[in-house]
Amino acid sequence: MTILVEVPEPAVDPAGSGVDQRPAARPGVRLARRIVWKVAGAVAVVIAAASVTFFAQLAVPGDRATILLNIQTGQHQHYTAAQLAPVRKEFGFDNPLVAQWLRYIGGVFHGDLGTSYTQHRPVTQVVGGQLGPSLIITVGALVVAWILAIGITLLTVKRRPVVSALGSLWETFTACLPQYWVGIILLVIFSVDLHWFPVIGGTSVKGTVLPIVTMAIPLAGFLGQVTRDEFEKVLDQPFVTTARTRGQSDTGVRLRHALRHAVLPAITLSGWALGALLSGAVIVENIFGRPGIGQVLVTAVSTRDVPTVSGVVLAVAIVYVIANLLVDLAYALVDPRLGGPA
């Protein structure tokens, strides 16, 4: 799990004067305006992301029609122009580059991501059916990770030194764990030895538990680290002291005041985390023999079916963009301050 993500600081009082000089736009209007901008930005990101995947398809060395035929026939040879022509026509390779690009971008918004080299089916079809199972374990893992992270942080942050150190150690350790390793250990212990869960899980409920736990553990460590750092900072803030001077108990201070501040950075990171989880899903699905984009992707990468790979990558990017929109909204709910993550 990476620790290399910038956490934007909420901008407080940009004028620095302490005097409220903002125009009196109502919060609702302000929020609506912000959402419109965010959505526009998100569309732009999707277009740009689609362009990147489009050009990735061009970046494959060699003639695309030749590669395509070779992939389909499993051979390695040259073809005559006559042999290539129908393929070029079918896939639109003979159109001008700009036209191909525009068609690809336009297609993205109509749910058309091109045609798979190997399966001769639209990429949307290949990917579409598989996105659901992947999203289930991804969202599941995010929820479990949040519960674990908040629970452990609340119980261990700024307690007796031993307790705090244990909590911190747990987070440092789990945040470093590669998902494949966690997955294999869980598989060996709970499926192979204890037979509690099936070795090949499929999409059954029982088979969904281990994949979710596998992805949740490292993420919980990571979110926990971020939340703990913030929690420690917040508990030293004067407003926490103020709350105590009013007679607020330690638990009250933690739950009513500190927690809300402390989860802000982790909320910001959740959009990113969802994307990271989707790539983790590729590995986890592989280990637990679970259908999903992971299986599609691995097959496509090994056959070098670049349109399909691009399709999966783009689909994930879109999920990421949507997730970040939701994160922004969640952030605005928890932190009503103007600014928030820009």
Partner 1 sequence: MTTSTAIEPGPETLDARPALLTVENLRVSFGDAEVVKGISFTARPGGCLAIVGETGSGKSVTARTLVGLTGRGSHVSADRIDLAGVDLRRASGREWRSIRGREVGFVLQDALVSLDQLRRVGDEVAEPLRLHGWGNRRSRAERVVELLDAVGVPEPEVKARQRPYELSGGLRQRALIASAIALDPKLVVADEPTTALDVTVQAQVLDLLAASKERGTSIILISHDLSVVARLADQVAVMRAGEIVEFGSAHQVLHDPKHAYTQALLDAIPSEHTRGTRLAPPADGVSDVPRVRKIDRDRPVLRARNLVKVFQGPDKIDRTVVNDVSFDLFAGETLGIVGESGSGKTTTARIALALTEATSGDVLLHEKPWSSISAAARRTVRKQIGVIYQDPLSSFDPRWPVGRILADSLRTGSRPPSSKTEAQERAVRLLEQVGLTREHLTTAPLRLSGGQRQRVAIARALAPEPGIIVCDEPVSALDVSVQAQVLDLLTDLQDELGVSYLFISHDLGVIHHMSDRILVMKDGRLVEQGDAEAVFAAPAHPYTQRLLTALPRLAQA
Partner 2 sequence: MTTITLPTVVRSPDWVRHLRARPTTVLASLVVVVALVAAFAPGVLTPHSPTTIHLQQTLRSPSWHHLFGTDEAGRDLFTRVVYGTRESLGIGVGATAIAMAIAIVFGFTAGLVGGIVDSLITRLLEVLFSFPALLLALLVVAVRGPSLETELIAVGVGSAPGYARMVRGQVLNVREAPYVEAASALGHRRRTVIRRHLFPNAFRPLVAVMTLGVGQSIVWASSLSFLGFGVPPPSPEWGALLDAGRDFITTSWWLEILPGLVIVLLAIAVTSLGRTLQHKLEGAAR
The footprint of partner 2 (CB under 8 A) covers: 2-6, 44-45, 48-49, 52-53, 56, 59-60, 172-173, 175-181, 184-185, 187-188, 192, 199, 272, 275-276, 278-280, 282-283, 286, 297-298, 300-302, 304-306, 309-310, 312-313, 316-317, 320-321, 324
Residues 286, 295: contact at Cβ < 8 Å?
Answer: yes
Cβ neighbours, 10 Å, residue 20 = 8
Round to whole Å and give the CA distance between 216 and 211: 9
Least separation in angstroms between CB 58 and partner 2: 9
Of 41 and 252, CB closest to partner 2: 41
Of 20 and 193, CB closest to partner 1: 20
Among 4, 19, 98, 194, binds partner 1 (CB under 8 A): 19
Round to whole Å and give the CA distance between 209 and 53: 33
115 has which bridge partners?
A: 122
Element (H, E) at 243: helix 238-245
Of 27 and 92, CB closest to partner 1: 27
Phi, psi of 216 (to 5 degrees): -75, -35
**DSSP letter, residue 192:** I
Least separation in angstroms between CB 48 and partner 2: 4
Q: 3-state SS of the chain: helix, strand, coil percent to 5?
A: 75, 0, 25
Interacting span for partner 1 (CB under 8 A) from 42-50, 176-184, 199-207, 236-244: 236-244
Half-sphere exposure of 124 (CA within 13 A, CB side): 9
What would the two tokens of residue 68 be?
A: 């395509």
Q: Which among partner 1, partner 2, none contacts residue 4 (Cβ within 5 to 8 A by kind)?
A: partner 2
Is 249 a binding residue for partner 1 by CB under 8 A? The answer is yes
Counting every residue written for the chain, the total comes to 342
Among 4, 21, 74, 81, binds partner 1 (CB under 8 A): 21
Q: Is the dihedral of CA 137, 139, 144, 145 positive or negative?
A: positive
Rounded to 5°, angle at Cα 235 from 7 and 142 = 45
Residue type, 124: T
Interacting span for partner 1 (CB under 8 A) from 124-132, 247-255, 298-306, 312-320: 247-255
Per-residue contact flags (x/-) with partner 1 for residues 254 to 293, judged by CB under 8 A: ---x--xx--------------------------------
Least separation in angstroms between CB 171 and partner 1: 22
Interface with partner 1 by CB under 8 A: which residues? Answer: 12-15, 17-23, 237-239, 241-249, 252, 257, 260-261, 334-337
